[in-house]
Structure 1
Amino acid sequence: MAAFDYKTALNDVPHRPGVYQYWDAEGVLIYIGKAKDLRNRVGSYFNSDNQLNGKTRVLVSKIRKITFTIVDTEIDAWLLENSLIKRHQPRYNIMLKDDKTYPWIIIKKEPFPRVFWTRKMVKDGSTYFGPYASVGMMHTILDLIKETYPLRTCNLPLTIPNIEADKFKVCLEYQIGNCKGPCQKYQSLEDYEKNIEEIKQILNGKIGSVIRDVKQIINTAVAELNFETAHQYQKKLLVLEKYQSKSTVVNSSITNVDVVSIASDERYAFVNYLKIMNGSIIQTQTIEIKKRLDETDEELLSIAITEFRTKFNSTSKEIIVPFELSITDPNLKFTVPKLGEKKSLLELSQKNVMFFKREKLNQYEKVNPDLRTERILTQMQKDLRLTQLPSHIECFDNSNFQGKYPVSAIVVFKDAKPSKKDYRHFNVKTVEGPNDFATMEEAVYRRYKRTLEENQPLPQLIIIDGGKGQLSSAMTSLKKLGIENRVTVIGIAKRLEELYYPGDSFPLYLDKKSETLKVIQQLRDEAHRFGITFHRKKRDQGTLKTELENIPGIGKTTADKLLRHFKSVKRIKEATEAELAVIINKTQLKTLTEYFNEHAE
């Protein structure tokens, strides 16, 4: 197949904002992108091959034709890209996972309008509010309206001529107080429409102005000694204030603002959207985006903002974002707040998106546990600056008792889980006295000398339980074996959970809640447990041997024989003379029996 002549194709691409499209040899549209400068953006795919990730290189290898659409502004490119991606769904574009039909609250265009919810928008002149990503929030608002404003729910044609002709009778809704009976002229059209206007203000997030109007009515009614009206509106005021206290999150001066935040990993991104009117959240939604080409958070956030503003018909001039976006539009302001109420709003959005991400990933990982393993290992590779996934990790720990009975233990994790069949103990052979550094050097040398002799794979990561001294000792052994550049080695200091790299005097501090640190701590704690268990066993055996060896006529060899056979002094004491006679001679048997009798409790 002939190579694509991208240089000739680039000559036709202008330095203008717009949307570009890549096509493969079969004429299939495989990618759509936007750019502030089409020539520069398209050229970057072909001029920086070494900087591209694997998926993008595959995409570039398939390109056989480039087309583009010029627009006036970057914002226009933004909107057009979103529209084309939805229509064509190219293979290499991200996938927005949001196929729900969201409900709306409708104020029906008719005499004495009804207020209800619907999932179908019809262009009949009615007024729609939404859509509502949270059905619970929508029903809360409808309950508020129903409790505060008695409206009709029937679908009777309540035209003035029909009402004048007395065609209708009041129903049960009127009898129980849910409707004021406009069908029988018990409620005027003017009064009904005043209620509708207040409902519109509530749905637009302007509940504060409605509360002020209600308070004014109450004060006027009290001044005129109209206590019945004052009592009715007082009940309405309580309902409105109760709803406002639940919905207001910041100062009501913050109005008509969008808030977006993002959380992502190697495969997915999650974006949360909040719509703020007069300090109240009136819309909220979180969407999931499946990555295709290792897109940046900035690219994903830009796409999600377009999606949200289109779906929720947002006209906000200000968007609160977690970081700067390279989008310029004189009619749109992007704010990255540092302090105050806008910062609190951004933090609220971030809490929502982190919760959504955690829940979604938990769902995926329950279905496919390998996803969790891959995620943890990928995060460890990123946090620890490794060149490969740490699928095989080994951790060393030393134990001794006042310099006696020194042992070293190694535990092995494969795919972030303990591989207990690969755990090993080392009885220290070359070290005298309490010398942790020499003990570590011996254990590491013996471990990997045998690994190389048996042609076994080396781990991707070695963890040394200890600070810079133990780490340096481990590196000495690895250098003797010539493998210091084939594995990554880190030391973990217990006090502050500091991570040290060879030759680097400054420690690395990981977030205390990070999964990478949790895996390292689990390795360290498991190595300590495994090592201390072996150490105690050896120490106990040593103490018992000393006790037996102190018996006249029982030497080290005899003590070893007895403990190997009976396992403990308690069992030796409980053994019969016939059982003991199998191991020791008659003189030793008499001496042992007399000793135990003298020291019986």
Structure 2
Amino acid sequence: MKSEHIKNKLALLPDKPGCYMMKNADGTVIYVGKAKVLKNRVRSYFTGSHDAKTQRLVTEIRDFEFIVTASNMEALILECNLIKQYHPRYNVLLKDDKSFPYIKITHEKHPRLEVTRRVVKDKGKYFGPYPNAYAAQETKKLLDRIYPLRKCKTLPDKVCLYYHIGQCVAPCEYEVAQEDYDRMVGEITRFLNGGHEQIKAELTTKMHEAAEKLEFERAKELRDQIVHIEMLMEKQKINMNDAVDRDVFGFAVDKGWMCVQILYMRQGKMIERRASMFPYYGEAADDFVSFVTQYYSENPALPKEVLLPENAMDKEKAGESIADQLQSWLNVHVHVPQRGLKKQMVTMAGDNARMALEEKFKLLERDEQRTSKAAESLGEWLGIGAARRIEAFDNSNIQGTHPVSAMVVFIDGKPAKKEYRKYKIKTVVGPDDYESMREVVRRRYERVLKEGLPLPELIVIDGGKGQIAAATDVLENELGLYIPVCGLAKDDKHRTAQLLAGNPPEVVPLPRDSQEFYLLQRIQDEVHRFAITFHRETRAKSMVVSKLDSIPGIGEVRRKKLLRHFGSLKKLQAAAVEDFRAVGIGEALAQKILDHLNKPEDAEAAGEDRSTV
């Protein structure tokens, strides 16, 4: 149901283009969208029925904001910037996964060539992407032999070997005219943009001239360069008759997931493809366009042409509006092909996306069957029947400081993260793993009994016989619960090595290559990860609080304000005096806080020693 607050805000929505930001109960932005008509688009979230994935988003919305823009294109760009600013959980977010290699001509006084996977707006010239690092490195080696740009990242004091073999103009020792650099950079650019045939023809002419002058070593060197160019270009299959660099997009959706396929065509050849798969919560076409805008927002290595599928476009204008907006923003030709070879390429990208999704769901189905079967078989190995619900515990501390414990839940072999629990150890002093296990098991199952929560078929303890005995004693003798408990012992390399069960505990001969053993490894790794993460958080918060509490004039209220405003101790230490005005702290106290936080550790320790004398 719509709250009165939302009803009032909906009435104020304008009939103009812009962006909207949906917020949850904590005021966190959970979704950013754009609209040609804000009033219609935002109201649609609160009226009518929705599919399951959109309903999941809608149920979390407690407030929204909107920003009016002058045009649809401005809304497109603003949406991209807002997504990058807020990282909303329900938006399509590009991951920083492994990227393709590019060849870069650096923007420096003495430019050089390098292979990089990081494309940034630094005025350098980027060419690619290349299908793999080998292809990029081989192309760079060829260009290094032909064009003697500098090779060293830092100029040395004297000329190096590259100068003596004719592969560097040695700007470290000799003055190099700007026109020489401009000529070499221009020829490299022409080569990488598809002009290798012309470069090959020029090298052939130079080879013949050298042979006529009886400079056979020079002629052989030029011949080798020509052969390298031919070998490099033959490795790629021609797909288009022209030599235009283009990116071809296609996408498919199924079961709340989207797959975007990009076919990279360079110099008329398809060199590589990439698939990105992610859950989406908005309209499929809108989220696809959001993906494209994010993809190009940080990438200065643009192709000459971008091909988009028709099913991503505005049906009312047959794809013109989005294509025109992207074209104006990117300053490259954006086309929605209707027929011919380009249409076939877009169709191929869409087909590949659809097949990738089908493969994903088939693999998921197979993994679900395996994990469900593994949970059943694990129970059979232990003689307890099917272990549908498994709860696992792990303790974490450093020499007894900030001791914590964590519990994870697996149902039918899959993690149920909403049921995970964290525990701060309250009654144990020092590093006593057995007593810590007793406390957390007692607290967990006292609450289970009190609130009538479901009991597990199996409890997994990260430890050996001592931890199993401690947990079993609490369950049976204090709580009257007879739940099977097993332990996972690790080897000297901290890997899951043995399953212990029974009373007294004995090794269960579970094969290490079985799905059941793999399931136990996953459970142990997950509970260990969860416990370690909680321990780090607890320790970090304790350090921050203790540092702030030791400053005169900083009480609990001000401490909370400071942490809420600055976010972390590191940002607080780096703040300026005037930054504290936002939390109502004057210059004198602000300077005192900064002096204390940035005090050298040895000076702080010395102060503590004097105070205890």
TM-score normalised to the size of structure 1?
Answer: 0.50
Select the structure of larger CA radius of gyration: 1
- Relative to the length of structure 2, the TM-score reads 0.49
